[in-house]
Structures are given as structure tokens and as C-alpha cells.
Amino acid sequence: MGRLEGKVAIVTGGGSGVGREHALLLASEGAKIVVNDLGNNAESTAEEIRDSGGEAISVLGDVAKWETGEKLVAAAVDSFGDVHILINNAGILRDAMSFSMTEEQFDEVIAVHLKGHFVCARAVAVYWRDAAKSGSETPRRIIHTSSESGLFGGPAQSNYASAKGGILTLSITLGRELSKYGVTTNVVAPRARTGLTDYIQSMAAPDNPEEFDVYDPANVSPFVVWLCTDEAQEVNGQAFIVGGSGIWWMRNWSHQNSVKLDAERWTLTNIDDHRELLFGDLETGIPKFDAPPFS
Ligand SMILES: NC(=O)c1ccc[n+]([C@@H]2O[C@H](COP(=O)([O-])OP(=O)(O)OC[C@H]3O[C@@H](n4cnc5c(N)ncnc54)[C@H](O)[C@@H]3O)[C@@H](O)[C@H]2O)c1
């Protein structure tokens, strides 16, 4: 018996990279899968699952389009009777420094990542709220995909970093809204060699096939799939970097320090006078790109 027997999962961008690995592992744990992508690779993943004895269908569609979310939920319910898990994973890169970025590059990335995550989350939220109102108490899961660029602000990625940063906050908002319907929502920032990153030399597969392949995208999926199990019900609104043999639990935007007057508005001079109290010896420059090391 797999850990996800009886569950139905939608995986966006499941035709390649980490999305494909998530779909395969979810299926091997017994989940029925709706594989979404833009092209034929969605059906290749679905076929691979069926060839291994699992159940899967493919549904083409651009996650940046409102109707795609509804189409994916309808396909899951029509084919498999329900939907329990949404893996928001589809993504693209259009890197450029802010001073060189075009409007098209900015809009496209925000649309696929930030809007795309919301479009699919909204569609399952509608279905899950109705199901809960009809008495369902089944656990439901959303796993979103962010990035270290979204956590720390990657250079040449104002479009991608802000979309991925927005996804971190979107997840918490969805958690506040949907927890009462049995939904947990968590974010994973993967580290993997895929179509998006295969130009990075340091992520290449090891020459020695015996050696652990740190950047194999399949390394990301076990934690994602674990978050989908009933055992992870108490983990909600959290964010993790996952890759190689590591899982890093992340937290950000905590309260640093404060100053407060006694029921009066600040003046610039007053701020000058309190500057030392607010900042003290603390670092006030660009925050460190604090990516945890692999070893
Ligand atoms: N690979 C990494 O190290 C890494 C790091 C940080 C974040 N991520 C994120 O992981 C996710 C998966 O990326 P990957 O690395 O597997 O890359 P990938 O290119 O292999 O996979 C992305 C998939 O999303 C699909 N896709 C793109 N736009 C889509 C759209 N509008 N609608 C539906 N599908 C669409 C692509 O066709 C592709 O199959 C992305 O959200 C990416 O930003 C990856």
C-alpha cells in the first residue's frame, strides 16, 4: 500500500524537471495524477505512470490563464472523482538586469509563476470549500514552488524573484483562508538540474555513476510527497529549500527592532535622534544572499 492510496493530485509543469519527478513519485505512492504542461511532455509523463501500473491523464494548458485552473480541477473530478493535492510547479525564466528587462519579460514571468500559482490554487479552493460545506473532512494539500531567488532576491531576476517571493506570501494567505477546510499549504524551493538550470556547470551529473547525484531533480520529490501525506497535517504555511540530501526549513521577515513615540507623529529630526536606538550596530545594507551551503 502506498502512502497516497485513494488520493488524486494535479501537478502543473509535470512534463519535465522536478514536476515530472513529483508526478512519478506521487503515483508510485498510489495517487492518481493529472499531469499538466504546455505540450506533449505532459502525456509522456502520464504514459510513464500508466506503464508503471499507475493511473494518470494529461491536460494541456497555460497556468497563467484563469480557465486552466478550472479545467484541471474538472479533469481530476471527471476522471478520478476528487482532487486532494495540488502541486503548483510550472515555471519559466526570463532573466535580465532590471535596467535591461523588457515589459514582456516582466509580465510573462509574473503571469506564469505568481498568477499561475494563484489560478490553480483558486480553482481547488472553490472545489474544496464546496466539498467541506457538503461535509467532507478529507485532508487537502497545496505545495507551491518558490526559489532561493524568491527568498533572498536573486540579481537579474526582478521578475522571477518578486514572483517567487509573492508565492511565499500567497501560500501563507491561502493557509489562513483554507486551513478550516483541512487544507495545508507549504512552499518548496528546489535545487535541481533541469531544463531551467542545465546551463550551470556546477550542477552537472557526476562522472562516476556510483556517486550520489546531488542535483538529480528526483532528490526534491520525497519531501514534497511527504508534505502531501496525512502525517504532515500539522505542517502548514512553511517554506523549505530542498535538494541533494538536504531539507532546510526557512523563516524570514521577522521583527528586528523598533522605536515608538508616545502618541505623536514622527518628524525627520526626531528620526535622526532615534536612529541609533532603531539601528544600533545592526547591519543596514542589502541583506545577505543567505543560501545554506550543501555540505
Ligand atoms: N531547477 C531548480 O534548481 C529550481 C530552482 C528554483 C526553483 N525552481 C522552480 O521549480 C519549478 C520547476 O522547474 P524545473 O526546474 O523543473 O524546470 P523545467 O523547465 O524542467 O520544468 C518546468 C515545466 O513547466 C512547464 N511550463 C512552463 N510554463 C508553463 C505554463 N504557463 N503552463 C504550464 N506549464 C508550464 C514547462 O513546459 C516545463 O515542463 C519552477 O517553478 C522553477 O521556477 C527550480
Task: Classify residue 262: in a domain, yes or no.
Answer: no
Task: Give the model confidence (pLDDT) of 161-197 as tens digits.
Answer: 999 999 999 999 999 999 999 999 999 999 999 999 9
pLDDT, position 38: 98
Please tell me the distance between residue 133's alpha carbon and the centre of ligand 1 in angstroms. Answer: 34
Spacing of C-alpha 191 from chain mean position: 12
CATH number at residue 112: 3.40.50.720
Please tell me the distance between residue 32's alpha carbon and the centre of ligand 1 in angstroms. Answer: 21
Q: Whose CA is nearest to atom 41 of ligand 1?
A: 91
Please tell me the distance between residue 113's alpha carbon and the centre of ligand 1 in angstroms. Answer: 9
Residue 160 among the catalytic residues: yes
pLDDT, position 252: 80
Flag whether pLDDT at 295 surpasses 70: no
Task: Give the model confidence (pLDDT) of 213-268 as tens digits.
Answer: 999 999 999 999 999 999 999 999 999 999 999 999 999 888 999 999 999 999 99
Length of the chain: 295
Q: Whose CA is nearest to atom 38 of ligand 1?
A: 13
Lookup: cell for 50: 500508466
pLDDT, position 136: 96
Q: What is the DSSP string of 135-201?
A: T----EEEEEE--HHHHHT-TTBHHHHHHHHHHHHHHHHHHHHHGGGTEEEEEEEE---STTTTT-G
Is any ligand 1 atom within 6 A of the Cβ of residue 69? no
- Of 58, 146, 164, 215, which is the active-site residue? 164
Residue 180 among the catalytic residues: no
Flag whether pLDDT at 148 surpasses 80: yes
Task: Classify residue 294: in a domain, yes or no.
Answer: no
Please tell me the distance between residue 232's alpha carbon and the centre of ligand 1 in angstroms. Answer: 25
Task: Classify residue 169: in a domain, yes or no.
Answer: yes
Is any ligand 1 atom within 6 A of the Cβ of residue 64? yes
Give the total number of structural domains in the chain.
1
Task: Classify residue 260: in a domain, yes or no.
Answer: no
Handedness of CA 53, 57, 62, 67 (dihedral sign): negative
- Of 32, 58, 160, 162, which is the active-site residue? 160
Q: What is the DSSP string of 18-73?
A: HHHHHHHHHHHTT-EEEEEESSTHHHHHHHHHHHTT--EEEEE--TTSHHHHHHHH
Q: Which of 166, 255, 232, 251 is nearest to 174 (CA)?
A: 166
Question: Which residue has 501560500 as its cell numbers?
Answer: 171
Is any ligand 1 atom within 6 A of the Cβ of residue 147? yes
Flag whether pLDDT at 201 surpasses 70: yes
Separation of alpha carbons 267 and 248, rounded Å: 42
Residue 199 among the catalytic residues: no
What is the average pLDDT score of the chain?
Answer: 97
Task: Classify residue 261: in a domain, yes or no.
Answer: no
Is any ligand 1 atom within 6 A of the Cβ of residue 11? no
Lookup: cell for 155: 540579481
Measured from the Cα of 42, ligand 1's closest atom is 39
* CB-based contacts of 110, cutoff 8 Å, min separation 6: 159, 162, 163
Task: Classify residue 291: in a domain, yes or no.
Answer: no
* CB-based contacts of 78, cutoff 8 Å, min separation 6: none
Flag whether pLDDT at 204 surpasses 70: yes
Quick one: what percent of the chain has pLDDT higher than 70?
A: 100
Separation of alpha carbons 71 and 77, rounded Å: 10
Separation of alpha carbons 11 and 36, rounded Å: 6
Is any ligand 1 atom within 6 A of the Cβ of residue 224? no
Q: Whose CA is nearest to atom 28 of ligand 1?
A: 91
Please tell me the distance between residue 153's alpha carbon and the centre of ligand 1 in angstroms. Answer: 18
Task: Classify residue 121: in a domain, yes or no.
Answer: yes
pLDDT, position 253: 85
Task: Classify residue 281: in a domain, yes or no.
Answer: no
Identity of the amino acid at 193: R
pLDDT, position 294: 77
Task: Give the model confidence (pLDDT) of 9-52 as tens digits.
Answer: 999 999 999 999 999 999 999 999 999 999 999 999 999 999 99
Tell me the residue range of the domain where 135 lies: 8-250
